[in-house]
Amino acid sequence: MSIAKKLASQTAIYGVSSIVGRVLSYLLVPVYTGAFAAAEYGVVTGLYAYVSFLNVVFTYGMETTFFRFANRPDTDRRELYDRVLSLLLVSTASLTLALMLLARPLLGLLNIPLGHERYAEWVALILGLDALSAIPFARLRLENKARRFASIKLAGIVLNVALNLFFIVFCPAVASGKYLTSLQPLVVQTYDPTVGVGYVFLSNLAASALTLLLLWRELLDFKFRLNLGLLKPLLAYAYPLLLMGLAGMVNETLDRILLPKWLPKGFYPGQSSLTAVGIYGACYKLSIFMTLVIQAFRYAAEPFFFAQSAEKNSPATFALVLKWFTLCCAVIFVSISLNVEDFGRLFLQRDEYLQGLMVVPILLLANLFLGVYYNLSVWFKLTDKTYYGTYIGAAGAVLTIALNFLLIPVLGYMGSAIATLACYFLMAVLCWRLGERHFPVPYPARRLGLWLLVATGLVALGWLVPVAGWWARHAWHAGLTASFLLALWVVERPRVVRPVAA
């Protein structure tokens, strides 16, 4: 279990930056909505909605490509690092300049009022700086420098939050004379109220710049080397990952775009389609507990898988990692789903949001299967058949669109949640079946399938069996959760102490 413990340790370290970043950004939402009118904040939402897609375009799969080629026996890692970063430097400069020059027409395409061109320019710079940081961060992961990785990420996050609070909360209060009037002359000189919501982007831009500066050690020994002939194998490996990433963004975000378009008028009595989207989006955030674990795991697992690929017993290691990852996520799924009302009241401050809590277990299970898919996808990355990832992602995207079209008019946002679950389940199954042909790994598929059925059954039992009274309901849910944990302990503990074939 030493290999698994090492992976778990690094996952925990990477998870610190992921969890803190997500939590702090979540806590900034009340700050934004309290300071800006809905129309102003809509500019932020509109621009950042496309950042996830553009991030994929800016890095075009080069992080995974770097890991793959760095673990080949005949590879000079320093030269590879220089060539990949050189390529990203050229492409990033070109894309950033293009976005800045095209800011005005792009705002029209996004239905954002003109006059916000500088915001689009700042977003372009953010994308550029983050893209340039990607390969130095990948190098830290490759060299197992998880603590340095996490500390730099955290420094950027802290600066971003601090600047948001400074410009959006502190400066307006001081400038208006609410408190610390002695600082008013200084604040008036540094704070421009006409920037308004632009300080959200400026804070992010400053944090991205600091992050790149803190990577000075990884940038100091960089040498610009650009040979397109030698880069062809890298690009051939990477371009399917780009398509796969774009398909993944469709699967992750499209439901919130399609819901207001395809939801029948009056489907929810007394609520507009935008209200339904708000409820669904807020409840979607409760699946963050699963998302954080998956994101932290991905940071640690990708370089780990590539490093282990040359080992004779690597298939057994991959199977062991998937098993414990799935069981840990199953515990999260059961624990959160059976106690979602308490979590909901803690994170969702208004009662109108609580009516959407029934989608949370479905979204948690969907994200669990997404994590399983990330585990299984190691086969097409190790065999240089990344185009299979594109096919799988495209199949998921087609299913996402089709099911949203069919289910939203009938089930509302519950249909969107079911579409998300079906999409990620299909991707996991396709990846597993194709992997059996091209890179056999002894995954304990049946065993894990049974555990997930048990977990789903307990969650369904907790939701479908009504229990009157606060204490009785909590005791019932706690008992179901404890029974699942006890069953895992009894059945799986002997395999930890004395591993046997799954």
- Tens of pLDDT, residue by residue over 82-116, are 998 999 999 999 999 998 888 777 776 655 666 67
For residue 349, name the pLDDT band (cuts at 50, 70, 90). Answer: low
Q: Of 210, 226, 242, which residue constitutes the final position of a domain?
A: 226
**Based on the domain organization, do 257 and 181 belong to the same domain?**
no
pLDDT at 39 over 60: no
Do 21 and 130 lie in one domain? The reply is yes
Domain boundary among 226, 241, 262: 226
The answer to whether residues 204 and 92 belong to one domain is: yes
Show the tokens assigned to 319: 């199977």
The answer to whether 201 and 126 have CB atoms below 8 angstroms apart is yes
Residues 210 and 258 in one domain: no
Q: How many domains does the chain fold into? A: 2
For residue 57, is it within any domain? yes
Q: At what angle do helices 198-214 and 117-142 cross, to 10 degrees?
A: 30
In this structure, the answer to whether residues 217 and 262 fall within a common structural domain is no
Question: 168 and 259 share a domain?
Answer: no
Residues 337 and 449 grouped into a single domain: yes
Quick one: 123 and 169 in the same domain?
yes
- 366/262 same-domain check: yes
C-alpha radius of gyration, the chain, whole number: 24
Domain that holds residue 447: 250-502
In a domain, 233, yes or no: no
Task: Identify which of 1-15, 155-169, 263-277, 345-359 has the greatest average pLDDT.
Answer: 155-169
Max CA distance (Å), the chain: 72
Residue at a domain's end among 177, 192, 226 = 226
Residues 279 and 370 in one domain: yes
Asked if residues 161 and 200 have their Cβ atoms less than 8 Å apart, the reply is no
Task: Give the pLDDT of residue 183.
Answer: 77
Same domain membership, residue 184 and residue 305? no
Mean pLDDT score, 235-247: 81
DSSP 222: -
> What is the band of 300 on the pLDDT scale with cuts at 50, 70, 90?
low
Q: Is the pLDDT of residue 490 over 70?
A: yes
Residue 229 has pLDDT above 80, yes or no: no
Query: How far apart are the C-alpha atoms of 458 and 478, rounded to whole Å?
Result: 11
Is there a domain that residue 243 lies in?
no
The pLDDT of residue 46 is 58
The structure's pTM equals: 0.71
Nearest Cα neighbor of 305 from 5, 1, 7 is 7
Find all residues with CB under 8 Å of 144, minimum gap 6, and list them: 10, 303
Would you say residue 242 lies in a domain?
Answer: no
Residue 400 included in any domain: yes
CA 193 → CA 36, 40, 44, distances in Å?
A: 12, 13, 17
Closest by Cα among 460, 347, 393 to 243: 393
How far is it, in rounded angstroms, from Cα 291 to Cα 143?
25
Q: Determine the pLDDT at residue 362.
A: 94
Task: Judge whether 244 lies within some domain.
Answer: no
Token pair in block for residue 351: 């009662």
Structure confidence by residue, pLDDT tens digits, 166-208: 888 888 878 777 777 777 778 777 888 877 788 889 999 999 9
With beta carbons less than 8 A apart as the criterion, state whether 301 and 7 touch: yes
Query: Would you put residue 177 in left (φ > 0), alpha (ψ -120 to 50) or beta?
Result: left
Contact 87, 234 (CB under 8 A): yes
